[in-house]
Amino acid sequence: MDVRTLCLAVLSKGDASGYEIKKAFEEGPFSHFQRAGFGSIYPALSRLLSDGMVEARAQEQNGRPDKKVYSLTPSGMAAFHHQLEGEPEADTFRSDFLFLLFFAAQIPERRVRMLIDRRIALYRERQRTIEQQRADRASSETPGDPGHEFVAGFGESLYRSAADYLEANRETLIAELRELRKTSRVAAE
């Protein structure tokens, strides 16, 4: 998904400024499976504007510089729905963490341990964040959007599995690394 489409998606949920769109990718529900920075959002909005897919109005603010609030035009809405009809591209997953652990045999045991522990904490935190957000939505009056809930559940489930795996296999890895080091020391003699 290119950043233009992502902007259309955010705007389909309500008007927003460039800054607010960025926040949607930092904190909102999108944050777990899409992202975009200022370097992509502002050029995307300019182009959407000149293509007539969004409209902008300057909103005065006391003190702060004007906010440019963008809203979807009918043409932009149509373009967004057209994008929803296309075939999804393959997911991308990139992990420096797994890259490092792949070379665990070249890393001191203490550091391996620390890397894994930190990662478990991170995954647990993400898991709890999603749980919390879902609980908040569940307690509010409006029934949650089924798609939103399904996606949130997917994320929650994956973070839990990831943390579970790390917890379950951490000691085995450490033990195997020790064994390996012992063997290679013997071989070197």
Partner DNA sequence: GCGCCATATATCGGAAAGATACGTATCGGC
Partner DNA sequence: GCCGATACGTATCTTTCCGATATATGGCGC
Q: Does 100 bind its own copies (CB under 8 A)?
A: yes
Residue 119, C-beta contacts closer than 8 angstroms, at least 6 positions apart: 97, 166
Q: List C-alpha distances in Å: 63 to 47, 66, 71.
A: 28, 9, 23
**DSSP assignment of 124-181, as one string?**
HHHHHHHHHHHHHHHHSSSPPPHHHHHHHHHHHHHHHHHHHHHHHHHHHHHHHHHHHH
Residue 108, C-beta contacts closer than 8 angstroms, at least 6 positions apart: none
Q: Does 39 bind DNA (CB under 7 A)?
A: yes
Q: Does 33 bind DNA (CB under 7 A)?
A: no
What's the closest the beta carbon of residue 133 comes to DNA, in angstroms? 18
The four Cα atoms 74, 79, 80, 82 give a dihedral, to 10 degrees, of: 130
Per-residue string for binding with DNA, 58-97, x by CB under 7 A? ---xxxxxxxxx----------------------------
Q: Which stretch binds DNA (CB under 7 A): 17-25, 133-141, 143-151, 166-174?
A: 17-25
Q: Between residues 93 and 103, which has the closer beta carbon with respect to DNA?
A: 93
Q: Which of 13, 33, 38, 108 touches DNA (CB under 7 A)?
A: 38
> Residues 121 to 180: which contact DNA by CB under 7 A?
none
Q: Of its own copies, DNA, none, which one sits near residue 48, judging by CB under 5 to 8 A according to partner kind?
A: none
- The Cα 115–Cα 121 span in angstroms is 10
Q: Which of 60, 63, 94, 188 touches its own copies (CB under 8 A)?
A: 94
Binding positions for its own copies, rule: CB under 8 A? 1, 9, 29-30, 32-35, 81, 84, 88-107, 115, 145-151, 153-155, 157-158, 161-162, 165-166, 169, 172-173, 176-177, 180
